[in-house]
Structure formats: C-alpha cells, structure tokens
Amino acid sequence: MSKDHSQLESLIGYVFTDKDFLWEALTHRSYLNENTSWSLPHNERLEFLGDAVLELAMSRYLFSAFKEYAEGQLTSLRAALVNAQMLARVAKEIKLDDFVLLSRGEAKDIGRARETILANAVESLIGAIYLDSGLESASQFVEKFIATHLQEVLEKRLWKDPKSYLQEIIQEKRGVTPNYKVLEEWGPDHKKTFRVGVFFGDELIASGDGLSKQEAEIAAAQNALAQYNR
C-alpha cells in the first residue's frame, strides 16, 4: 500500500472512529495468503453489507429525486448507478487502487479482474462507513461519489440495457442488427477473461473484455455506444 489511511480519509471526506473497519474494507482475500500475521479478516463480509447499504441509500436518493418515476424506471436508474463498472470508475476517482491490500500476484493484474476487486472494495468501504457511524454517513458517501454520475446516466441513457439500446439505434441508423463474436480468451479455466467484438455486418465496431462472454458482450456494446451516442 503506497499511502496511509489518513490520505484516503482525506480523499473521501470521512474520518473513521474505528480504523479497523477501514483496514478490513481494504483487505482483499489474497493479501491474507501472504500475510498470515494480519489480524483482520478480508473484506468480503463488509462487501456483502455494503452492497445492501448502497442499494438502500441509492433507492432512497432516487425515490426522493424522481417523484414522478414508476418502480421500473427507478430500478433501471439504480442498476446503472450501482453496477460493477460504475463502482470501478468511482474507485479510480477516489484513488482506491492506491490503498487496497493485495497479494503480489493480484497487484500485478491490472485488467478486468482488478476492476472487479475495486468495485467490491467500494461496497466494502460503504459497509465500513455504515458500521462506523450509521446509514446517514454511508448515504453521504453514496450521494457524493456515486449519485453524482446520475446526469451522465440520464444523458447517455445508460439506464437502458446496452445491447438492446445499441440494436435499437443501429437498426434505425444503419438497418443492420449487431452481432457478437469472441475474439480472444485467456487465463486459467477458473479465471478466464473473454474479449468479444461487436460487428455491424462484417465490420468490427468495438470490443470489450469480461469475466464471462455475456459480460464482455455488454462491455463491447457500451464501447460501441460511446461512438454512436455522443
């Protein structure tokens, strides 16, 4: 870890009363394999808690902000704001990568697996804040760092399923239906990464990586939308 916890606290604008909550939130399972004397557990229990707190905090925020929206619309907005890709972006914005405790092997992996670790760490951090001082503090974090992406979600229509939305606009603009093909795959069977390309006819438009073919297809669709949805 390249920086001490006080620097992270400064970045997020929250100072922990119980620092163990923060350290636990930053501890990835792999770190314990190489640091058997580490006194705290890994962050997966906090991730479980933080996921629920995040969903509640975001639901409450959207419920108040969009009084005219039906349940389905609110659900779609929430999904766009709390998915792993968005949380990984948030993690990078608060420089969480500088603080998460990883094994040497995991620390070298800078691909999709690292993004998943960072997204999970955001949820763990939310869970830690909740345990340290309650729902209001956790909600303030959610509103300050995650809900602020709401305008982008609305403007780019990220609340729509990327594959369906891409098909909708490309059929209208070009009269073709996007199709997806696996371009590459690598890694061991238990941790395989896929690269999928989205094609308009025979033309490769964009590609995306994921830990499953479906996840890679969604990433490819999102990257294609970045070209056609400006």
Q: Which residues are catalytic?
A: 51, 123
C-alpha to C-alpha distances, 9 to 16, 55, 131, 178, 211, nearest whole angstrom: 8, 23, 16, 45, 31
How many CB atoms within 10 Å of residue 74?
17
Q: Where are the beta strands (DSSP E) in the chain?
A: 179-186, 193-200, 203-210
Torsion angles phi and psi, residue 124, rounded to 5: -65, -40
Give the DSSP per-residue string, 125-159: HHHHHHHHH-HHHHHHHHHHHTGGGHHHHHHTTTT
3-state percent breakdown (helix, strand, coil) of the chain, nearest 5: 65, 10, 25
Bridging pattern class, strands 179-186 and 203-210:
unpaired
Q: Please answer whether residues 156 and 85 qualify as being in contact, where contact means their C-beta atoms are separated by less than 8 angstroms.
A: no
Residue 139: exposed, middle, or buried by beta-carbon count in 10 A (0-12, 13-18, 19+)?
Answer: buried
